[in-house]
Amino acid sequence: MTDETNEEHRKRMVRINEIKDRQLASATKEKGLVIVHTGAGKGKSTAAFGMAIRALGQGMKVGIVQFIKGAIPTGEAEFIKQISATGMPIEMHTMGEGFTWKTQDRERDIATAMKGWDQAVQLMRDPSFDLIVLDELNIATKYDYVPASVVVDELLAKRPMLHVVVTGRNASPELIEIADLVSEMKVIKHPYAHGIQPQRGVEF
Amino acid sequence: MTDETNEEHRKRMVRINEIKDRQLASATKEKGLVIVHTGAGKGKSTAAFGMAIRALGQGMKVGIVQFIKGAIPTGEAEFIKQISATGMPIEMHTMGEGFTWKTQDRERDIATAMKGWDQAVQLMRDPSFDLIVLDELNIATKYDYVPASVVVDELLAKRPMLHVVVTGRNASPELIEIADLVSEMKVIKHPYAHGIQPQRGVEF
Structural contact between residues B201 and A130, judged by C-beta atoms closer than 8 angstroms? yes
Contacts A83 to B, Cβ<8 Å = 83
Top pLDDT among B71 and B102 is at B102
Whole-complex ipTM: 0.80
Q: Is the pLDDT of residue A20 over 80?
A: no
**Is A30–B197 a contact, with Cβ atoms under 8 angstroms apart?**
yes
- What's the DSSP call for residue A29? B
> In chain B, which among 159-178 make CB contacts under 8 A with chain A?
163, 176
Which H or E element spans position A91?
strand A90-94
Give all domains of chain A, ordered by start, each with its CATH number.
32-186 (3.40.50.300)
Identity (one letter) of the amino acid at A59?
Answer: G
Share of chain B above pLDDT 90, in %: 64
Taking each helix axis as running N to C, give the angle between helix A44-57 and helix A75-85, from 0 to 180 degrees, rounded to the nearest 10: 10
**3-state helix, strand and coil shares in percent for chain A, rounded to the nearest 5:** 45, 20, 35
What's the whole-number mean pLDDT along residues B28-51?
A: 92
pLDDT of the residue at A1: 47
> In chain A, which among 101-140 make CB contacts under 8 A with chain B?
101-107, 130-131
Please list the residues that pair with A94 across neighbouring strands: A66
Q: Is the pLDDT of residue A100 over 70?
A: no
Please list the residues that pair with A133 across neighbouring strands: A64, A165
Q: Give the 3-state secondary structure of residue A182.
A: strand
Contacts A132 to B, Cβ<8 Å = none
pLDDT of the residue at B9: 83
Determine which of B24, B104, B204 to mutate to test the interface with A (most A C-beta atoms within 10 Å): B104
Task: For chain B, say whether A144 makes contact (Cβ under 8 Å).
Answer: yes
| B193 — pLDDT class (breaks 50, 70, 90) | low
Identity (one letter) of the amino acid at A149?
Answer: S
**Is B196–A33 a contact, with Cβ atoms under 8 angstroms apart?**
yes
CB atoms within 10 A of CB A153: 12
Q: Is the pLDDT of residue B68 over 90?
A: no
- With CA atoms as reference, the chain A residue closest to B106 would be A6
| 3-state SS, one letter per residue, for chain B | CCCCCHHHHHHHHHHHHHHHHHHHHHCCECCCCEEEEECCCCCHHHHHHHHHHHHHHCCCCEEEEECCCCCCCCHHHHHHHHHHHCCCCEEEEECCCCCHHHHCCHHHHHHHHHHHHHHHHHHHHCCCCCEEEEECHHHHHHCCCCCHHHHHHHHHCCCCCCEEEEECCCCCHHHHHHCCEEEEEEEEECHHHHCECCCCCCCC
Top pLDDT among B150 and A28 is at B150
User: Taking the C-alpha atoms of B12, B17, B22 and B24 in order, what is their torsion angle to the nearest 10 degrees?
Assistant: 150
Which H or E element spans position A80?
helix A75-85
pLDDT of the residue at B1: 47
Determine which of B16, B181, B186, B204 to mutate to test the interface with A (most A C-beta atoms within 10 Å): B181
CB atoms within 10 A of CB B78: 15
Q: HSE of A130 in the Cβ direction (CA atoms, 13 Å)?
A: 18
Contacts B139 to A, Cβ<8 Å = none
Residues in chain B, total:
204
What's the whole-number mean pLDDT along residues B173-200?
A: 87
Which H or E element spans position A11?
helix A6-26
